[in-house]
């Protein structure tokens, strides 16, 4: 039957193709008589026509787009993709046999497996008809089946392919709010939650709302995740940098923030918000609660919106540190809705889940008037809604299996296995970097990255200048071409002038870490010997 249908389809397409050819020929003949400017009728007409210029050129693009940069997927990655293509088409063409992507926090692309319970629930929600089949009981855990029914009952029409409320499905926001309340010990309102396609659109949304012109500034840490500098540039604002203290483990000093705030004001810039990334990206530090209290106090005193990037809240690797949300800290200080405006960002892309491609996340918005919240909702509604799979995952991340659930033990084993492996990888790479000449690396307390500092020889800096590139990019490019290891130059994140760094993820699978260390060590020794002063 299937062959018959395919055959009928091919015959239909062939007949349609022949008819189109005849129609095209007929139309062409007609055009010879109907067009007084036909090329056939007037061979010289093309030479007489004025030369047309492209409708769009780089120079005519929005200058805000041209100003925007995103180093994590910049030039180094383009070179890596070319090398990977060369290895595929011509194996053995380079001294390495694979590209090792240490440039971006994309866990599953590097072999991390998804959490079984999360994927079972997603599969059942997307194909609900199998919930009624007897064999489903043997293929899926009982709690994943039960959770899928609960979620589907919250979705109008049980349709994951339909639009939802612009803030996200109400029942899923209820679940997330309950998860936040369990985490922090303070109430959370589902109406404060806006589900988004990962945390990035939420950041863009807030920048769009806060930035009115280039006279509006956003305080950002340096080094910073390039999403912030890119978003500020796209929306026409001014990035006001405050420098993290590398000597104290990338400490955030409110005295430094105050100094930069006053300097911006002196230039006529109205500073609207303070961005804090905790745990840090690219620096991997975890803020102490006392430090967070000082930041909350500072924002309250200065009337700044606190934008808290907390997407790595599950990624803490040292026993002496613990994640505390800024909402928990502010509420524990006695500050409520009328005292401080706070936006917290969370994502399903990081943590132990690593579901980057599912594009799920949310922002919790507190301390804004009803009139401002209406405008936030309006901007969210322009995008209709975030994708439903990402919404479901965000609810699962904030409400995983609990004690007594069938999946609880396997879930804990998967989660703990991933996090303990990440901690070992972080320590191995940290030790490796610190063993190399001219490189120092702070302890990896959290997140998914290390941000080592490299003392480049003057000869290497001169060679980089000769190639019209910044020295840390010069180093990373040569490393890539020699080893296949992809790092991101520190200059893409910002750094104290005169210092050079690079960012390295801890995400390659544990069995590949020794090869990375060996390749990196050999390359670095040769590099330093070649450019030694």
Q: Please report the DSSP string for 363-384 in residue order.
A: EEEES--HHHHHHHHHHHHHT-
Cα–Cα distance for residue pair 436/424, rounded to 1 Å: 19
With H, G, I as helix, E, B as strand and everything else as coil, classify residue 229.
helix
Question: Using the 8-state DSSP alphabet, how is residue 1 labeled?
Answer: -
How many residues in the chain?
533
Contact 493, 458 (CB under 8 A): no
Q: How many CB atoms are closer than 10 A to CB 9?
A: 10
Q: What is the pLDDT of residues 1-42, one digit of tens each?
A: 333 333 444 443 344 444 443 344 444 433 333 333 333 344
Q: What is the pLDDT of residues 159-193, one digit of tens each?
A: 888 888 888 999 999 999 999 999 999 999 999 99
Element (H, E) at 345: strand 342-347
At CA 174, angle to CA 173 and CA 176, rounded to 5?
60
Token digits for 329? Answer: 């800290």
| pLDDT more than 90, % of the chain | 62
Cα–Cα distance for residue pair 484/79, rounded to 1 Å: 10
Cα–Cα distance for residue pair 205/167, rounded to 1 Å: 13
Name the residue with tokens 């995400």.
507
Contact 349, 311 (CB under 8 A): yes
Name the residue with tokens 């026509």.
49
Residues 6+ apart with CB under 8 A from 491: 71, 470, 472, 473, 500
Residues 6+ apart with CB under 8 A from 435: 521
Cα–Cα distance for residue pair 114/354, rounded to 1 Å: 7
Contact 218, 199 (CB under 8 A): no
Contact 421, 253 (CB under 8 A): no
Q: Tell which residue, 397, 407, 403, 399, has the closest CA to residue 354.
A: 397
Token digits for 246? Answer: 């590398």
Token digits for 342? Answer: 């706070």
Contact 502, 439 (CB under 8 A): no
Cα–Cα distance for residue pair 392/395, rounded to 1 Å: 5
Does the predicted TM-score (pTM) go above 0.85?
no
Q: Per residue in 198-224, is it b (16+ CB within 10 Å) or e — as a string? A: bbbbbbbbbbbbbbeeeebbbbbbbbb
Q: Tell which residue, 510, 444, 517, has the closest CA to residue 283.
A: 444
Predicted pLDDT at 105: 81
Q: Which residues of the chain have pLDDT under 70?
A: 1-52, 68-73
Cα–Cα distance for residue pair 339/303, rounded to 1 Å: 9
Cα–Cα distance for residue pair 368/352, rounded to 1 Å: 32
Residues 6+ apart with CB under 8 A from 4: none
Phi, psi at 372, each rounded to 5°: -70, -40
Contact 223, 252 (CB under 8 A): no
């Amino acid at each position: 039957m299937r062959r018959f249908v395919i055959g009928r389809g091919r015959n239909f397409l062939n007949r349609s193709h022949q008819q189109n050819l005849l129609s095209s020929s007929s139309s062409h003949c007609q055009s010879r008589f109907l067009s007084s400017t036909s090329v056939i009728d007037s061979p010289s007409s093309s030479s007489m026509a004025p030369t047309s210029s492209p409708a769009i050129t780089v120079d005519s693009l929005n200058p805000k787009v041209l100003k925007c940069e995103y180093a994590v997927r910049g030039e180094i990655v383009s070179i890596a993709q070319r090398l990977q293509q060369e290895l595929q088409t011509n194996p053995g063409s380079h001294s390495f046999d694979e590209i090792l992507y240490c440039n971006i926090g994309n866990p599953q692309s590097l072999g991390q497996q998804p959490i079984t319970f999360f994927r079972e629930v997603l599969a059942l929600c997307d194909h609900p008809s199998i919930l009624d089949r007897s064999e489903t009981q043997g293929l899926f855990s009982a709690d994943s089946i039960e959770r899928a029914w609960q979620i589907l009952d919250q979705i109008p029409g049980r349709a994951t392919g339909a639009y939802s409320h612009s803030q996200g499905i109400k029942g899923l926001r209820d679940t997330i709010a309950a998860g936040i309340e369990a985490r922090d010990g303070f109430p959370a309102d589902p109406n404060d939650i806006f589900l988004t396609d990962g945390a990035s659109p939420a950041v863009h949304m807030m920048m769009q709302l806060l930035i009115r012109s280039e006279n509006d500034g956003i305080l950002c840490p340096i080094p910073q995740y390039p999403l912030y500098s890119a978003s500020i540039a796209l929306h026409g604002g001014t990035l006001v940098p405050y420098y993290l203290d590398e000597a104290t483990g990338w400490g955030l000093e409110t005295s430094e923030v105050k100094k930069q705030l006053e300097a911006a004001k002196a230039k006529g810039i109205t500073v609207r918000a303070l961005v804090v990334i905790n745990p840090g990206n690219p620096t991997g530090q975890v803020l102490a609660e006392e430090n967070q209290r000082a930041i909350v106090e500072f924002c309250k005193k200065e009337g700044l919106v606190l934008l808290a990037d907390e997407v790595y809240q599950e990624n803490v690797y040292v026993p002496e540190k613990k994640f505390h949300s800024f909402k928990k800290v502010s509420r524990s200080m006695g500050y409520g809705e009328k005292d401080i405006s706070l936006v917290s960002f969370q994502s399903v892309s990081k943590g132990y889940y690593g579901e980057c491609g599912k594009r799920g996340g949310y922002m919790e918005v507190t301390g804004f008037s009803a009139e401002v919240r209406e405008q936030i909702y309006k901007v969210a509604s322009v995008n209709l809604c975030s994708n439903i799979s990402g919404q479901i995952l965000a609810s699962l991340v904030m409400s995983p299996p609990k004690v007594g659930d069938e999946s609880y033990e396997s879930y804990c084993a998967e989660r703990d296995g991933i996090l303990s492996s990440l901690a070992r990888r972080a320590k191995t790479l940290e030790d490796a970097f610190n063993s190399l000449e001219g490189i120092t690396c702070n302890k990896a307390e959290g997140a998914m990255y290390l941000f080592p500092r490299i003392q480049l020889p003057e000869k290497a800096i001169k060679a980089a200048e000769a190639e019209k590139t910044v020295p840390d990019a010069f180093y990373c490019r040569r490393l890539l071409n020699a080893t296949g290891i992809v790092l991101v130059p520190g200059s893409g994140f910002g750094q104290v002038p005169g210092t050079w760094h690079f960012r390295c993820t801890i995400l390659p699978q544990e069995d590949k870490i020794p090869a990375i260390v060996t390749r990196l060590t050999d390359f670095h020794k040769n590099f330093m010997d070649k450019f030694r002063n």
